[in-house]
């Protein structure tokens, strides 16, 4: 799923590094949300799929912890 998130980002950003960072950031935010909901590894997978589907711009903006150098 992480590679799919990177591919989605690469479709809209010509910079491969920026696309990889964005895709992994989205995936990490979804994984954190899924971990908060899951009771174990079996439910984590389902929660992750749901969390990826529920991602929106506001969730990314409020949950992203990015520091520029």
Q: pLDDT of 6-17, one tens digit each?
A: 999 999 999 999
Q: How confident is the model over 7-34, as a mean pLDDT?
A: 94
At residue 68, the pLDDT reads 74
| 69 within domain boundaries | no
| 68 within domain boundaries | no
* pLDDT tier for residue 33 given thresholds of 50, 70 and 90: very high
| 7 within domain boundaries | yes
| 13 within domain boundaries | yes
Report how many domains make up the chain.
1
At residue 57, the pLDDT reads 87
User: How many residues in total does the chain contain?
Assistant: 69
Residues 6+ apart with CB under 8 A from 24: 2, 5, 6
At residue 35, the pLDDT reads 95
Residue ranges in 1-69 assigned as alpha helix (H): 2-12, 16-37, 41-54, 57-63
Q: 47 lies in which domain range?
A: 2-63
């Amino acid at each position: 799923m992480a590679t799919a998130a990177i591919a989605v980002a690469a479709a809209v950003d010509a910079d491969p590094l920026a696309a990889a960072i964005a895709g992994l950031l989205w995936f990490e935010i979804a994984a954190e949300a899924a971990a908060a909901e899951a009771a174990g590894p079996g439910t984590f997978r389902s929660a992750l799929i749901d969390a990826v589907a529920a991602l929106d711009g506001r969730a990314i903006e409020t949950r992203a912890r990015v520091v520029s150098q």
